[in-house]
Structure 1
Amino acid sequence: MQNKARMQTMVGEDLLFLTDDQLRRGIEAMFFAYRAFTADPDLILAEMDYGRAHHRALHFIHRSPGLTVTALLAVLGVTKQSLNRVLRTLIEDGLVESRVGRRDRRERLLYLTEAGTALERRLSAAQRARMRTAYRNAGPQAVAGFRQVLEAMMDPETRAQYQAMKDLPEED
């Protein structure tokens, strides 16, 4: 039992003293994982002459129907001009609906249309399948550790936005 505890301590200590090469391998793993994670949606988006910003907008509008343009701007961390270009296209193509706010008529509340919901599901289906497979293969401890690492990489403001999104009801 003491050996096991000593080994766990040693493993924990090893994590505190990562070499530059180990860190570089982690960075490269993230690059390659992100490329794989976005590959399937990228093919669908390319057919429609859309980019990843369109996908992210669809994702977050789906996740939080009635999201304000201001809130989406904060979540995506893009310029107002860039977001306006993306939203204009999505609205013109009938994927997103912009409604006037009930409390503040200057606010624009964003909702996916039926076509927008269908596209969002199509884009995220492959990503959910990829995540599900990876999580199952890695196991629950690795999943928890992975989330801890991702959250630890976020700055406090981003982490707060993420936590707020985590508290939303799960989708169907």
Structure 2
Amino acid sequence: MTAAADVLATLQSRGESLAVAESLTGGLLAAEFVAVAGASAVFRGGVVAYATDLKAALLDVPTPLLNAHGPVDPSVAAAMAGGARERCGADWAAATTGVAGPDPQGGQPVGRVYVAVAGPLPEHAAVRELTLPGDRPQVRSGAVDAAVALLAERLAITITSR
């Protein structure tokens, strides 16, 4: 069973749902989940907000935050996850933002990635900063793996805190 399948099975057993918000991964995170048979029982959908202005328009990321820090920032990742959770009506959401390359962006190096999770309670939220090696496909794939792993970790923590 894949990590994404494990996450979906955990959510289904708890009667909870999932959404995603993506920038640099451009739909790969959603594809990771929907590749699992039966994903529709849990996965509500997602938003690919590749352009910075769409992060504000579609995911309610505050424009002043984007203006101050740019799209590759831990607070932006957290806001994207929260926005996807709200917009898609999901219990949980995962988000990805970063620089896949080939060139740095906004002062951020290639491979700088932030993944975030938002859950039903504020204490479920988490953001992780990564510096991923490799070329563009490797960075994007690594971001997907990291987002799924962070979601799995947050779900495990909420099981023990119930």
TM-score by length of 1: 0.25
Rg larger for: 1
Greater share of helix residues, 1 or 2?
A: 1
Greater share of strand residues, 1 or 2?
A: 2
